[in-house]
Amino acid sequence: MNILRRGFLKAGGLGLLSLPQILQAQEENNTQHKAVINVFLGGGPPHQDMWDIKHKAPTEIRGEFNPISTNVAGIQIGECFPMIASMFDKFTAIRSVVGCKDRHDGHQCTTGWIREDKVSGSTYPAIGSVASKVLGPVTISVPPNITLLEETSHAPWYDFEKPGYLGTAYQSFNPNGQMMKNLKLNISKNRFKKRQDLLRGVDISNIDMKLLTEESFDVLMSSKLLDALDLSKEDPKTLERYGTGQPYKFQYDGAATDNQKLLIARRLVQAGARSITLNYGRWDSHGGNFGLVRDHGPKLDQCVSALVEDLDERGMLDDVTVVVWGEFGRTPKINKDAGRDHWSAVSCALLAGGGMKHGQVIGYTNRYGEEAADRPVHIQEVCATMYKAIGIDPVTETIMDNSGRPQYLLEHRTPVQELVG
């Protein structure tokens, strides 16, 4: 069997499925399902210039941005995010995220662990890989675990979202990867229907497995996944609402501020994906921090507010959790280059959807934004919240590692109670 075909059948946790399973899944209706969209701000976004403005701090700490009021009484956020502020009743800002390590690595934001944390010699699996293992696909034509991580010069900002000890059968599917480039994108719906009808008439008891998987591959090539990735099929007004994020500035060795990734993420979830991970922007602001936030901030504001509004209008918001965060925060004190350096003591996360209680701020830092002064929220608690939101109980769920021993998904397994309690 062609390696690309075998790889596609495995990609995103589809596994090597039998023909009856595939045909049955093609017949099933796509009922609403739980999903998570994980927006990774690679580089470490400056919490005190976004969701935790310290406008009363000394000049060398407070920075250049003023707070603006949200539509929730008593809650303010940074001036670069007016659209999110206008609908903050649908958001929660966690201002006291702890437990991050001082290293550029999205692995922390998709697993809750660092790469050095290993089980039987393998890393812990990403949330999407666990969802593939535990929940499986919603529809066989769309992998449950999809990555929209753009390749960057700095590898830790894209080379994560790994299956760890679960193995390659639960690797995320990358639409920009080599497998997708080799797929036949011009299979007509008429040919697809004829192929399905042909396969239904086959006596599968004596079929050669090689032929089975070859034909199964073509069944998988329905238009569902391809349509989800094709933005030419989207309403122009929706495209305008998300924007493009162009021109791309401050990118250097990081990801572009590509607003359309968030729209593709919504389309993929709507098509049947359970977990979407994407990288957005390059937030490593050792120099020129305020220019970077003035560029990245309004673009992020537009696409995140558009995504949440879009999900809400489609009746999907209670089922889809959106998380926006980076691998750590940044120093309270501004350096000589008008930048902020790495600060792992505390950071922030922005959440929406998932049927959770929103319109609130959880935790707060001291007056300089140096540390959590109230309600520290461990990074694994945020991951536990994502697990619970997609239908996996992080308190009780265990998965066998590659040595056959059951492993809990996290050490801090209790979801953020202010959100889910």
Q: What is the pLDDT of residues 21-37, one digit of tens each?
A: 555 555 454 558 999 99
Average confidence (pLDDT) over 352-361:
98
- At position 377, the amino acid (one-letter code) is V
Among 215-219, 273-277, 287-291, the minimum mean pLDDT is found in 215-219
Q: What is the pLDDT of residues 190-222, one digit of tens each?
A: 555 555 555 455 444 444 444 444 444 443 455
**Residues 3-420, CATH architecture:** 3-Layer(aba) Sandwich (3.40)
Residue 12, pLDDT score: 61
Strands 329-330 and 364-365: unpaired
Average confidence (pLDDT) over 239-258:
97
What are the domain boundaries of the chain?
3-420
Q: What is the pLDDT of residues 62-84, one digit of tens each?
A: 999 999 999 999 999 999 999 99
Average confidence (pLDDT) over 359-374:
97
Among 121-130, 194-203, 284-293, 354-363, the minimum mean pLDDT is found in 194-203
Residue 176, pLDDT score: 81
> Please, what is the average pLDDT of the chain?
88
Q: What is the pLDDT of residues 79-114, one digit of tens each?
A: 999 999 999 999 999 999 999 999 999 999 999 999
Residue 141, pLDDT score: 83
Whole-prediction pTM: 0.88
**∠ CA 391-397-402 to the nearest 5 degrees?**
120
Residue 14, pLDDT score: 58
Q: What is the pLDDT of residues 371-406, one digit of tens each?
A: 999 999 999 999 999 999 999 999 999 999 989 999
Average confidence (pLDDT) over 329-349:
98
Q: Do residues 94 and 416 lie in contact, with contact meaning Cβ atoms separated by under 8 Å?
A: yes
Spatial CB neighbours of 73, under 8 Å, sequence gap ≥ 6: none
Residue 32, pLDDT score: 84
Average confidence (pLDDT) over 328-354:
98
Residue 1, pLDDT score: 36
SS (H, E, C) the chain: CCHHHHHHHHHHHCCCCCHHHHHHHHHCCCCCCCEEEEEECCCCCCHHHCCCCCCCCCHHHHCCCCEEECCCCCCEEECCCHHHHHCHHHEEEEEEEECCCCCCCCHHHHHCCCCCCEECCEECCCHHHHHHHHCCCCECCECCEEEECCCCCCHHHCCCCCCHHHCHHHCCECCCCHHHHCCCCCCCHHHHHHHHHHHHCCCHHHCCHHHHHHHHHHHHCCHHHHHHHCHHHCCHHHHHHHCCCCCCCCCCCCCCCCCHHHHHHHHHHHHCCCEEEEECCCCCCCCCHHHHHHHHHHHHHHHHHHHHHHHHHCCCCCCEEEEEECCCEECCCCCCCCCCCEECCCEEEEEEECCCCCCEEECEECCCCCCEEECCEEHHHHHHHHHHHCCCCCCCCEEECCCCCEEECCCCCCCCHHHHC
Q: Do residues 195 and 223 lie in contact, with contact meaning Cβ atoms separated by under 8 Å?
A: no
Residue 95, pLDDT score: 98
Of 42, 258, 287, 248, which is closest to residue 153 (Cα–Cα)?
42
* Token reading at 94: 């966690």
Residue 112, pLDDT score: 98
Q: Do residues 63 and 56 lie in contact, with contact meaning Cβ atoms separated by under 8 Å?
A: no
Residue 140, pLDDT score: 82
